[in-house]
Amino acid sequence: IAKEVAKLLEMKAQLGDEGKSKFVLKTPKGTRDYSPKQMAIRERVFNAIITCFKRHGAEVIDTPVFELKETLTGKYGEDSKLIYDLKDQGGELLSLRYDLTVPFARYLAMNKITNIKRYHIAKVYRRDNPAMTRGRYREFYQCDFDIAGHFDPMIPDAECLKIAHEILSELQLGDFLIKVNDRRILDGMFAVCGVPDSKFRTICSSVDKLDKMPWEDVRSEMLGEKGLSPEAANRIGEYVQLHGGLELIEQLLQDPKLSQNQLAKEGLGDMKLLFEYLTLFGITGKISFDLSLARGLDYYTGVIFEAVLVQQENNHEEEPVSVGSVAGGGRYDGLVGMFDPKGRRVPCVGVSIGIERIFSIMEQKVEASAEKIRTTETQVLVASAQKKLLEERLKLISELWDAGIKAEMLYKKNPKLLNQLQYCEDTGIPLVAIVGEQELKDGVVKLRVVATREEVDVRRESLVEEIKTRTS
């Protein structure tokens, strides 16, 4: 054994050396850097989202990027295998957050908060198979808005859908549809179709695949792997192809089987109320009650929804472009209670905007358009026309900074005027403040408008005002 160990250690050492010489200059798998241009687009998307969250009166919180490992345990069902753990370096066992919902529930229980409306925008981590061209990463942003508290039914739920609607409209990503369902309707449906209680979750996860697989394949999975009877599967098949609005809800409330199931009846009753509120908000045109929607996460207890971008009908490309989910959410009334020592429940409902996919689309739109994106906000370049004027440039730029003007200069002692003007062209700086010997004597600065090449002498004491006027 000692010999074997020695041999292995030697092999390991060799591998170590080899690894070093093969050092690869890259970001970890499934992650990326954001360049200044990408950041400019990202900021636009964030601004639209934050503006909407604030319009709805949300506060903002932040939580650590990692949690105690046990905080995340038992909250995500089958997805738990995708959680990133930290190495045990002594002390607590930690994991990177998998979403913002479980940390939010932990925050509420820990601080005994029973009533809050908050948003949280932060990165989450999943050891999933990345598909970066389609906006699927291992490190990605979630933009979450949640309402916690005991309220009258469906009022906060309706607001979450209104928010998804507002944000997707504002971002102009093209046509979209928000599918809505309810965990109670799903569970009631499974019961009346003859699915044994013990199989609710696993059959639910089969139904969840209907947006990627045809019904026949999902049915095969139910019969094979999941061991469901053909009769039960066929009955499910009839329900999950249904989608519509208020009239479908009314129809199902009259359904001889479903209406006998208490859970389904509750769910349908609330769904009706939800659609009444959505009608008052004027957004039912893009909302579809869809019995095939079954979101994966374990913690949902009531309404669930998911927003998808809809392919334009006049789009006849050969390869079908995958157009996925851009927002989702639902009600999770039991999660906070899982953290509370006494199990006290705080009902919650929330919406999460999937920024990466939206960001990919926005980036493509900008690439396709002629729009030139500025990555700085600089108003004026402090330049000189002759040599030996570094000190004068430093003095002037300092005055401008102190007056709140966004100003740059080239970090050269004697830059050529042409290079200074070229820098403005490249970066979109609209004005140049040129100091020269004659101007210094006259107590003026030459102000040049880059776009028109117009030049005017401005008295030094009026320069700040003049720049502000011209760039406002």
Binding-site positions: 99-101, 126, 142, 146, 295, 299-300
Among residues 44, 46, 63, 229, the one that binds a copy of itself under rule CB under 8 A: 63
Q: How many residues bind a copy of itself (CB under 8 A)?
A: 90
Residues 412-431, interacting with a copy of itself (CB under 8 A): 412-413
Dihedral over Cα of 205, 180, 266, 58: its sign:
positive
Whole-angstrom Cα distance, residue 123 to residue 143?
9
Among residues 158, 204, 424, 463, the one that binds a copy of itself under rule CB under 8 A: 158
Binding segment for a copy of itself among 62-70, 191-199, 326-334, 360-368 (CB under 8 A)?
62-70
Does the footprint of a copy of itself cover residue 56 (CB under 8 A)? Answer: yes
In whole angstroms, the minimum distance from the beta carbon of 222 to a copy of itself comes to 31
At residue 294, the 3 state secondary structure works out as coil
What tokens does 212 get? 């990627």
**Can you list the positions of beta strands (E) in 293-440?**
303-309, 325-331, 348-354, 380-384, 407-408, 431-435
Which residue, 220, 114, 471, 442, is CA-closest to 458? 442
What stretches of 246-328 show up as alpha helix (H) in DSSP? 246-253, 262-281
Residues 6+ positions from 163 with CB-CB distance below 8 Å: 52, 53, 56, 145, 351
Does the footprint of a copy of itself cover residue 35 (CB under 8 A)? Answer: yes
Contacts by residues 54-58 (CB-CB < 8 Å, ≥ 24 positions apart): 55/166, 56/117, 56/145, 56/159, 56/163, 57/117, 58/117, 58/118, 58/119, 58/145
Binding segment for a copy of itself among 143-151, 213-221, 230-238, 241-249 (CB under 8 A)?
143-151
Does the footprint of a copy of itself cover residue 398 (CB under 8 A)? Answer: yes
Among residues 6, 10, 12, 55, the one that binds a copy of itself under rule CB under 8 A: 55
In whole angstroms, the minimum distance from the beta carbon of 309 to a copy of itself comes to 22
Which residue, 202, 203, 211, is CA-closest to 288? 211
Whole-angstrom Cα distance, residue 144 to residue 349?
11
In whole angstroms, the minimum distance from the beta carbon of 96 to a copy of itself comes to 8
Among residues 10, 17, 62, 225, the one that binds a copy of itself under rule CB under 8 A: 62
Q: What are phi and psi of 382, to 5 degrees?
A: -90, 115
Whole-angstrom Cα distance, residue 415 to residue 227?
77
List residues forming the annotated binding site for L-histidine: 99-101, 126, 142, 146, 295, 299-300
Does the footprint of a copy of itself cover residue 468 (CB under 8 A)? Answer: no
Does the footprint of a copy of itself cover residue 162 (CB under 8 A)? Answer: yes
In whole angstroms, the minimum distance from the beta carbon of 133 to a copy of itself comes to 18
Residues 78-97, interacting with a copy of itself (CB under 8 A): 84-89, 91-92, 94, 96
The 327-356 contact track toward a copy of itself, x by CB under 8 A, reads ------------x-x---------------
Residues 225-284, interacting with a copy of itself (CB under 8 A): 277, 280-282
Binding segment for a copy of itself among 202-210, 222-230, 234-242, 387-395 (CB under 8 A)?
387-395
Binding segment for a copy of itself among 107-115, 179-187, 224-232, 446-454 (CB under 8 A)?
107-115
The 300-319 contact track toward a copy of itself, x by CB under 8 A, reads --------------------
Does the footprint of a copy of itself cover residue 390 (CB under 8 A)? Answer: yes
Residues 189-228, interacting with a copy of itself (CB under 8 A): none
User: For residues 140 and 190, which CB has a smaller minimum distance to a copy of itself in the complex?
Assistant: 140
Binding segment for a copy of itself among 20-28, 218-226, 315-323, 353-361 (CB under 8 A)?
20-28
Q: What is the 3-state secondary structure (H, E, C) of 431-464?
A: EEEEECHHHHHHCEEEEEECCCCCEEEEEHHHHH
Q: What Rg do the C-alpha atoms of the chain give, in angstroms?
A: 29
Residue 194, Cα to own-chain centre: how many angstroms?
38
